[in-house]
Structure 1
């Protein structure tokens, strides 16, 4: 018959394992994440730019936040809220994703996208426009979708879902008009066709042009949109969890993000890894701004991540590769 003292010692040993093992595991994870955060911040701080990041490992709830509540210029990342408003309208029955719009010359926009390369008169569906807005960051498609869902409604939606810092400040057309006015104030009254056809003013040197563009992007009133890294990650997590739209429409939005054509930044390294998919949206004004937000899907994930850079004065390729390095480090650490 076992001695009472030995039985008591055995019970205490079992209790010790049950009580202290989870604490040790959590403490170990916290210590590991502290080192990971230090390394991520080191990479961000090495960039000659304003930077912010928020990342969440969805299965464990572990997070890294670096200046995550600092308002940042979105550039094309603001197209994700536009997409959400369009799909909510589709869910409500006030917008058909199959409705077609015939593109007119005055609706063409410069910058990113493919629709400007087709002849005027193309009639894509609303679904096609949303897809191009996301996967090629098409600016023509963006303003067409925005005209349908209305900028004020996008901003109201962001407020309603608890993202008070996320706002679209200008349409694409107005943003480019403001940029042209920064080059030459007389261009402030140009119509959309004139803005689309605009060329750099004669006699403006490359250095002066770069300085004008840098001052322009530093003026917060000229931003296309603003957000924070934390808020954009909350929005992405809401798509993942079907919190802001039903499962059908949330899955459709995730498919758009998975179709992203641009493979630098978040997927720069991960695109070569087996079993990894990056559903993401870029936003840039090279070489001054290059951001990326997305959902990294892999066996131990997913990770929701938002990385913003503004005011970059260094090599843009280094900026893009740094974001890719950070994404790869997170995947390797959070399994």
Structure 2
């Protein structure tokens, strides 16, 4: 009995320093990240987790941030879960109509109506070019934003939320310019964001009226205020919850293993945000960017030499050049990789 207790005590004593060391390491990295974030002209939050060691570090990881387009990851996950359940066929083709066109980011808006991509193609563009046309098509295909939010609540996420479709988000700003713009059709709203003759020519009067109205500084400020108001954010996120969603993709628990592998392949093909998290990295990163006027975010999985690192980096209330913050995001990502890889060449 005495030898058994001695063995148990020795084992306990061995465990205590390990836990303390892990906590100390996490605290050291968090302090390092806090110092880096303090240099940025933003209100920033970050969550980092090394999936091999389990070590975490964070700064304001539980604060709520404007997700911008990073919330599109949730729609992708739900689409693949539905595909696993055979409730959605990602090989199905969708004909893109004039009413589907959305302004902002993406490539579908530069093409004539009638494109006939598969839903898998639509998801891919929603992620790698942050295509807003693709986004609203996919939100509708998975059952609407309420379905996205039910999935997130059922999965235990308290903050992650698709607050608006891209059409709703754009409309809020125009409605702030003039309440009558609430009645604008999707084609009308897109016409205010494009120079495609197909949309512009029939709406010359609307466009000229809108340009005159927004030439008024007060009107322009109302629009900006509407788009930046928390209640009107495109989506809500915390760095920690987004990190958890990314981790579930990496570990193959968000959907089937095959679906998770496909989602990672899409994230690895990212075409946006090369000066954000990937800026100074030479190791692969699967990621999704997001930005609005005063927001710039990037979230993903860095495939470092020491193992996969989940990172979710949010920046709002930009008070300086966007490039300064995005360059800083790259420096932080390099610092994180160097920390875990022990300074090994990337």
TM-score normalized with structure 1 length = 0.88
Q: Please provide the CA RMSD for this pair.
A: 2.4
Tell me what 2:297 maps to.
291
Write out aligned runs for 1:178-217 (5 A): 178-198=172-192, 201-202=211-212, 204-205=214-215, 211-212=221-222, 214-217=224-227
Unpaired runs of at least 5, structure 2: 1-9, 193-206, 342-346
**Rounded Cα–Cα distance in structure 2 between residues aligned with 1:24 and 1:293:** 33
1:302 corresponds, among 288, 297, 308, to 308
1:180 CA drift (Å): 1.5
CA deviation string 1:248-306 (max 9, x = no partner): 00101111110100212111111xx2xx11100001014x0000110001210210010
| Kept in 1: contact 2:33–2:58 (CA 8 A) | no
The answer to whether residue 44 in structure 2 is matched with residue 60 in structure 1 is no
The answer to whether residue 239 in structure 2 is matched with residue 229 in structure 1 is yes
Tell me what 1:124 maps to.
117
Tell me what 1:80 maps to.
73
Unpaired runs of at least 5, structure 1: 1-16
2:285 corresponds, among 266, 269, 278, to 278
1:169 CA drift (Å): 1.1
Higher-Rg member (1/2)? 1
| Kept in 1: contact 2:174–2:181 (CA 8 A) | yes
Tell me what 1:329 maps to.
335
**Rounded Cα–Cα distance in structure 1 between residues aligned with 2:255 and 2:34:** 34
**Rounded Cα–Cα distance in structure 1 between residues aligned with 2:218 and 2:51:** 46
- Paired residues in the alignment total 317
CA deviation string 1:2-21 (max 9, x = no partner): xxxxxxxxxxxxxxx99878
1:160 corresponds, among 154, 160, 183, to 154
CA distance 1:314–1:207, shift in 2 (3 Å): farther
Write out aligned runs for 1:99-138 (5 A): 99-138=92-131
Tell me what 1:317 maps to.
323
1:24 CA drift (Å): 5.4
| Kept in 2: contact 1:52–1:68 (CA 8 A) | yes
**Rounded Cα–Cα distance in structure 2 between residues aligned with 1:280 and 1:207:** 37
1:47 corresponds, among 35, 40, 44, to 40
1:325 CA drift (Å): 1.0
| Kept in 2: contact 1:167–1:226 (CA 8 A) | yes
CA distance 1:36–1:201, shift in 2 (3 Å): same
**Rounded Cα–Cα distance in structure 1 between residues aligned with 2:151 and 2:12:** 45
Tell me what 1:6 maps to.
none
**Rounded Cα–Cα distance in structure 1 between residues aligned with 2:132 and 2:284:** 25
TM-score normalized with structure 2 length = 0.85
The answer to whether residue 280 in structure 2 is matched with residue 269 in structure 1 is yes
1:213 CA drift (Å): 5.2
**Rounded Cα–Cα distance in structure 1 between residues aligned with 2:34 and 2:220:** 28
